[in-house]
Structure 1
Amino acid sequence: MEYEVEYIHSKIKLSSYTGRLFRTEAAFEEHLLVWLISGETKILEAERTLRFGSGSTFLIPRNQLATIINYPSGGQPHQAVTMHLSLEVLREIYGISGLKTTDKGKLGVYAFDRHPLLDGCLASLVPYFELKEKIPSEVAALKIKEAITILRNTDAGIDQVLGNFSDPYKIDLEAFMERNFMFNMPLERFGFLTGRSLTTFKRDFQKIYQTSPQRWLTQKRLELAREQLLKTDRKPVDVYLETGFENLSHFSHAFKKQFGMSPSQLQIQNG
């Protein structure tokens, strides 16, 4: 099996992938704490690209738009422990109202320095996967609280992320879409992240762009893909992954329909 996920608890899982790569789009409803055991992870945000290797620990904040690409590496599968940090647990730790944050909406994926306490906490979960046993709920709750406590005591900035309980508020739709169009999210999710219902999102979008979100997104993604093919030596199979298309076949078909030639033909023509 190329991709396998094992849960030892509803909030703790081990994922293992042995294929060429595995991509997913992120805008999760809970914070995800990830400990990368082996392999590599590439995360694309609107304004930066992050790369993580084995032993890395990072947090994907809730509602953070990102493209996540996981690769096996060095003959090892991509293997990671992921812990969901629910708002319920965080409210218990921080109090109902949370903290006053100073960087709302601009936090991004949060990388942690190596620390023996954090490594030890996450590594202690691996035997449960090897035993194929579910971790008792009481133990899982303790492990999640232990991880949060270690993060709070070893990283001074993490409270700004974990203690922020606010939902997305109504923001500048045009600025948001111009920055995040390459993320392949349902329109409902784009609406939520801009502080709008789906109906309001579509209405506001039409006022700004005089076209439907679907048409505009496809056009913007094709233009970005064309720019990358012309300015770099990257192959179409790499470009489509980072420009919001479902698969290579769909990308090639839409590209040829828009520009009159396939992505490969464009590269050959460009020399």
Structure 2
Amino acid sequence: MGYQAQYIHPDLKLSRFDDKFYKADVLFEHHLLVWFISGETKIVQGDTTYLFGAGDTLLFPRNQLVTVINYPKDGLPHQSAVMHLTPKRLTDFYSRNKVDVKRIQTPKFQSFNQHPLLQSCLASLVPYFDLNETLPDVIAALKIDEAITILRTIDADIDHILANFDEPGKIGLTDFMEQHYMFNMSIDKFGYLTGRSLTTFKRDFKRTFQTTPQKWLTNKRLELAHYQIREKRRRPSDVYLEVGFENLSHFGHAFKKRFGYSPTELAD
């Protein structure tokens, strides 16, 4: 059995992975507050990798690209309780709690380790998943308000993330693409994150790089894979996902077309 998501409310779910591992490049539309119940999670953001286990709590800011790899561990599936902190919920909350928001250029995800207040709040959701009916919105709203209040209590700067409802502004393409090309995202998502429509993104990209986004992304990912295999002596099967390919066969075909030999030949 692979992935299961059990929703008791549109903003509250229990997530479960039973496979050997699950890897995805993710971009969340909402802030997510996640409590890991079992299993292990590796998160790659930029050139930094973080590892989390059962009991840890994280806040994923919206509109941030990260790579997430979930593993079962100790005979248990990877399981987590997830709370969506949507703009509507946060707007309602902050309409009652006025704050001055400082703009943060690139908010990082926040780790709260095994903070007892957050653990208690999110662990209290688990029995609700035994219900055979949707959790009433009034109860869900109380739990979400509780979580936001706890976050504000234990992190004095969290308002600068939660109360900032700005959409991504237009930014330079060169630095952004060089930092994020290995993420397996659609072209329109890259456009959104750089503050452009799809048409404008393609036009600006061609002007900046003298090629199309897809050709540039493929070449950059293949060059990174070539470096990892030749210089770091890594196996092709361990590399292709990390550099942005979804399929090992497609990766091998593209690699040979680009370099004239297969990744397996390079690794030998």
Q: Where on the TM-score scale, by shorter chain, does this alignment land: which range?
A: over 0.9
Distance in 1 (alpha carbons) for counterparts of 2:20 and 2:257 = 28
The secondary structure found in structure 2 opposite 1:242 is coil
Distance in 1 (alpha carbons) for counterparts of 2:234 and 2:146 = 43
CA drift of 1:99 comes to 4.0
Q: Is the 8 A contact 2:101 2:159 kept in 1?
A: no
Q: Is the 8 A contact 1:40 1:71 kept in 2?
A: yes
CA drift of 1:216 comes to 0.2
Give the AA of the match of 1:187: I
TM-score (norm 2): 0.94
Give the AA of the match of 1:177: M
Corresponding residue for 1:209? 209
Corresponding residue for 1:43? 43
Give the AA of the match of 1:232: K
Distance in 2 (alpha carbons) for counterparts of 1:232 and 1:92 = 50
Corresponding residue for 1:118? 118
Measured at CA, do residues 63 and 35 of structure 1 come closer, stay the same or move farther in structure 2, by a change above 3 Å? same
Q: Is the 8 A contact 2:234 2:267 kept in 1?
A: no
Measured at CA, do residues 125 and 112 of structure 1 come closer, stay the same or move farther in structure 2, by a change above 3 Å? same
The number of aligned residues is 267
The secondary structure found in structure 2 opposite 1:34 is strand
> Percent same amino acid at aligned positions?
55
Distance in 1 (alpha carbons) for counterparts of 2:60 and 2:237 = 26
Corresponding residue for 1:25? 25
Corresponding residue for 1:192? 192
CA drift of 1:128 comes to 1.6
**Residue ranges of structure 2 left out of the alignment (5+ in a row):** none
Corresponding residue for 2:104? 103
CA drift of 1:100 comes to 2.6
| Superposed counterparts of 1:153-168, under 5 Å | 153-168=153-168
Corresponding residue for 1:58? 58
Give the AA of the match of 2:139: V
Corresponding residue for 2:146? 146
Give the AA of the match of 2:79: Q
CA drift of 1:224 comes to 0.9
Distance in 2 (alpha carbons) for counterparts of 1:147 and 1:56 = 15
Corresponding residue for 2:76? 76
Distance in 2 (alpha carbons) for counterparts of 1:164 and 1:125 = 27
The secondary structure found in structure 2 opposite 1:122 is helix
Distance in 1 (alpha carbons) for counterparts of 2:100 and 2:217 = 36
Give the AA of the match of 1:254: A
Q: Is the 8 A contact 1:38 1:54 kept in 2?
A: yes
Name whichever of 225-234 and 75-84 sits farther off. 225-234
CA drift of 1:94 comes to 2.1
Give the AA of the match of 1:88: K
**Residue ranges of structure 1 left out of the alignment (5+ in a row):** none
Distance in 1 (alpha carbons) for counterparts of 2:234 and 2:253 = 18
CA drift of 1:232 comes to 2.4
Distance in 2 (alpha carbons) for counterparts of 1:263 and 1:99 = 53
Distance in 1 (alpha carbons) for counterparts of 2:61 and 2:80 = 17
The secondary structure found in structure 1 opposite 2:204 is helix
Q: Is the 8 A contact 2:57 2:115 kept in 1?
A: no
Distance in 1 (alpha carbons) for counterparts of 2:132 and 2:74 = 26
Measured at CA, do residues 258 and 98 of structure 1 come closer, stay the same or move farther in structure 2, by a change above 3 Å? farther
Corresponding residue for 1:8? 8
Say whether residues 1:135 and 2:100 are aligned partners. no
CA drift of 1:132 comes to 4.1
Give the AA of the match of 1:183: F
Distance in 2 (alpha carbons) for counterparts of 1:20 and 1:44 = 19
